[in-house]
Structure 1
């Protein structure tokens, strides 16, 4: 009896192994991973780390190719999420900002001055709120696996030091395609101009727009001082978490073992990517800021009174979007942030 049992177990194991091999034979030769920026940026580097980890850990069964510049959707960042759901894109490391038009809950990270610290950001994504946001993405037809980070977005421009809302009046500021950003910069007296990142760079260089807001890692990698960006205001008005995702049909086509490998690789890559995004900003002396100053750019920090003036100016926007996102969710985020102070 023992011999028969062992034989049956061996047969079952062999059958499962053959099924895994058959599934693996149906894998694509290449999986398309969408990115807004290339590997010179921490964001793009996070995608590269993920792809390399997956290729190595699956012994080449899953081969991922990077497509920076959201080239799979002709550079339109706001179409990326829909393209993942539809299968035009297999995988992505995407911005919560760019996906917020399709997943309204992700607008929570764009709420002006909800948190100005990394501790506050971490408290949100590592809590029940983070799970709620992943559930919201899942319900919209895309599978989220891990968090990354683009970073706190700082304001740069070619005209003047900005220390109060009045300094922004009439200034053309490039923003991403999110209504919340349009509302925020309109409330500050600026003229928000929506355009893709690919279009933004020549627009800055030509003076078609005066300024933009992005993490400092983007400023450095894009050499924005050569795009006539002479002044930076450090205001930490919002952070931009990234999310590692996979198309659901692609996910279903992999063996359970490979799914676990891809998910763990996303988690590992996300942790490394967050470290890269914060490097030079959390160390004493902020080496990244010093590097920017050494390139000839003026960097200013807001006083508590100046920061309060900006918060007051955008409070109506905050109140409006709190209702749209969901008061309960926003209040949970506010409590999570408050717990870190």
Structure 2
């Protein structure tokens, strides 16, 4: 008979317990386009931190920033998640709109004047309809985040009216709706990656670009010749926390609850952080010598009128009823704000 020393038995038990815990724990991959230097990446990391704490390490997520799971091609993120290559993502409505046309709602020019307008849509019936559209594509949406309103900058002059954009070469993201918007304003929209855009902006081959203030600030876009920035809130880019439907189905009810609740908490936290930090970002950008222009109501309405045809062009692609529902929600929010 072989006698086992009590110390050895305890060591074996501890090892078996550790193995059992590691076998039961699960890690999901989460894709983001930006790192945690930006609010977008911070949203994903906040989700990871909250989930680890809530589940006591039984369900965790590993964040893969800079769209590295799709070799840097952010337009492939949604398809990769749907196919199961990516478990989950904190993704942009712009990047996902080719697969979910309804998400182009947020890119309609000058539809959303302010944060209250965005909240009235994302947090209401229209937001639920958009989540249903995402769900129909094999992705389970969990919560909203925010990349924010996209503003325009250039190296030539302040932009206060549509005619200021005539002939100006503007770098835009790879979406036909962006192309149509800047065509309507008389600009020369040029689709290119940011890697290509930086040298083009530096040399003056491209005059301007459009991005949220957070991106302009953190990426130091003023260092590539962008001296003039106009706050025009021409479109918004909400983020969506989501998970592959097959992955979702494989989770227990408790794990689903952890994942959804922490996504919602991370989304609310990130939205507030992004908005609270806007005044400081503007001050920092101004301190670096950038001239920031804010539009008057009349100036804003001139851009609304100039791009009205784009709404007509895209009504059938997005869904005319969805657009009308969004407009009604925005009008109601505006009326409540002026009471």
Cα displacement string for residues 92-117 of structure 1 (whole angstroms, at most 9, x for unaligned residues): 11111111111011111111111111
Which secondary structure state, in structure 2, belongs to the residue aligned with residue 89 of structure 1?
Answer: coil
Question: Does residue 51 in structure 1 map to residue 43 in structure 2?
Answer: no
Q: Distance in 2 between matches of 1:159 and 1:95?
A: 30
Matched, 1:237 2:234: yes
CA distance in 2: counterparts of 1:125 and 1:273, whole angstroms: 15
> For each residue in 1:159-189, what CA deviation from the matched residue of structure 2 results, as whole angstroms up to 9, or x when unmatched?
2111111211222211112111110011111
Pick from 294, 305, 324: which aligns with 1:331?
324
Query: Equivalences for 1:1-341 in 2 at 5 Å?
Result: 25=23, 28=26, 30-281=27-278, 286-341=279-334
* Stretch deviating more after TM superposition (242-251 or 130-139): 242-251
Structure 1 gap segments, 5+ residues each? 1-20
Take 1:49 and 1:287, find their aligned partners in 2: how far apart are those partners? Answer: 21
CA deviation string 1:56-113 (max 9, x = no partner): 2222222322211111112222111111101111111111111111101111111111
Q: CA deviation at 1:268?
A: 0.3
Q: Number of paired residues?
A: 316
> Matched residues in 2 for 1:136 and 1:248: separation?
13
Q: Cα gap change, 1:250/1:43 in structure 2, threshold over 3 Å: closer, same or farther?
A: same
Q: Structure 1 length as normaliser, TM-score?
A: 0.88
Structure 2 stretches lacking a partner, 5+ long = 1-18, 335-339
Write out per-residue CA displacement over residues 213-236 of structure 1, whole angstroms, 9 at most, x where no aligned residue: 111111111111112111101111
Alignment check: 8 A CA contact 1:27 1:253 kept:
no
CA distance in 2, matches of 1:198, 1:36: 14
Partner SS state of residue 259, structure 1 = helix
Q: Distance in 1 between matches of 2:20 and 2:125?
A: 39
- Counterpart CA distance in 1 for 2:85 and 2:251 is 18
- TM-score normalized by the length of structure 2: 0.88
Runs of at least 4 residues off by over 4 Å: 21-24
Question: What is the RMSD of the two structures over their aligned residues, measured on CA atoms?
Answer: 1.9
